[in-house]
Copies of this chain bind each other. A is one copy, B any other.
Amino acid sequence: MNSIKSLKNEISKSKLDAIFISSVPNIIYLTNYSHFSQHEREAYLLITQNKNYILTDGRYSEAVKNKVKDFELIEISSKNPLIKILKNLKTKHNIKKLGIEEDNLTISEHKSLTKHYDNTYHYSGIKLLRDIKNQNEIKQIEKACKLGDKTFKYILNKIKSGVTEKELAYEIEFFVKKQGADISFPPIVAFGRNSAIPHHKPTDEKLKKNSIVLLDFGTKVNNYCSDMTRTVFFGKATNKQKKMYQTVLEAQKRAIELLNTKYLILNTSKKSIKASEIDKVARDYIISKNYKTIPHSLGHGIGLEVHESPRLSPKSKDILKPGMVFTIEPGIYIPDFGGVRIEDVVLLEESHTRLLTISSKDSTIL
């Protein structure tokens, strides 16, 4: 419940009377209860200086009563709809200024809310808290990354002539789930020219000798995600493929080296690095080798969500700070030929960077 305490400080600083939380990852962050649907609106939090409310319907109230301890449950129902509950809470707590998540709440929801709340303000304080992972969060991400590495080892043995992309994707998913964990997103498995599509959806295509195999997958342990990509050659790689691979590997290495160098030369008290600089060093290296620019960001934060702040991209304004966990994943994609991506999760510690995914990257010629 430390996150709630930090949040209360945040609220008082921002001069809001209460904040209204609708985003599911933020609800998980603050309550530790993670069974609400990610697709539908099933719960909200309203947090004032003195009181925490969780608003949900009868499908969840028994579970919430048992598991969410520091929140008072108010049940949403046909007779007690959300808007009535919010009206009552406004009166009860004399809420004049309400913080809302403008990047989560829909226009319709906002229209309905403003029937009673005239003054709403964008509140993004939880994002700031979530950006810097605490020791427990890091422990969970480490577990998820370790399971990712274990899964990669397992799946390497399943790469055989005739296996399909879908079958390998299932194998990844089943393996992760048999360990009592979850996947953090549907695994990407791409053979040959399909690997030129960064977010390829696995097909029934069968693996042939001398093909690229791109595997991008993640696990979720106690709500925290991992994410990793390895590209391996099944059979022999051509020189063109080898050059692509070495270029991507070197681009990743340069990004990580720059992170470490910046750390060494920066004074401890003001350790911060522009995310866009790290993106640039990898991106520029790839372009310098006569490839097209990476058609996605170099990396993204990871935690309760598989993609979260910070963003490592050319236009990112994010600053990298100790306690942040993010991916570094350069890639080269040549349409109708194939692609290579290598992705690891990096933790910025106080004195250095640490890779949380440690699977081999020697392009494993099988």
Contacts and interface: CB of A to CB of B under 8 A. Distances in A.
B60 A313 contact: no
Interface in A91-122: 100, 102-111, 122
A183 B166 CA distance: 15
A173 interface: yes
Contact of A305 (B39, B58, B110): B39
B313 A63 contact: no
A51 interface: no
A107 B178 CA distance: 40
B173 A63 contact: no
Interface stretch (A191-199, A228-236, A245-253, A262-270): A191-199
A261 interface: no
Contacts of A58: 198, 295-296
A198 B75 CA distance: 14
Contacts of A78: 313-315
Contacts of A57: 295-296
Interface string A187-227: 00000000011111100000000000000000000000000
A122 B58 CA distance: 30
A336 B212 CA distance: 55
Contacts of A173: 177
Contact of A38 (B39, B77, B201): B39
Nearest to A62: B197
Interface in A163-177: 166, 170, 173-174, 177
Contacts of A285: none
B295 A59 contact: yes
Contact of A122 (B59, B108, B170): B108
A180 interface: yes
A106 B106 contact: yes
Interface of A: 35, 37-40, 57-63, 77-78, 81, 100, 102-111, 122, 166, 170, 173-174, 177-178, 180, 185, 196-201, 295-296, 305, 307, 313-315, 333, 335
21 contacts: A38-B39, A58-B198, A59-B295, A59-B296, A62-B196, A63-B199, A63-B201, A77-B295, A81-B315, A100-B107, A102-B107, A102-B108, A102-B111, A103-B106, A103-B107, A104-B106, A105-B107, A107-B110, A108-B122, A166-B180, A174-B177
Given A35-B199, A39-B305, A102-B106, 6 more contacts: A38-B39, A59-B197, A106-B106, A106-B107, A170-B177, A170-B178
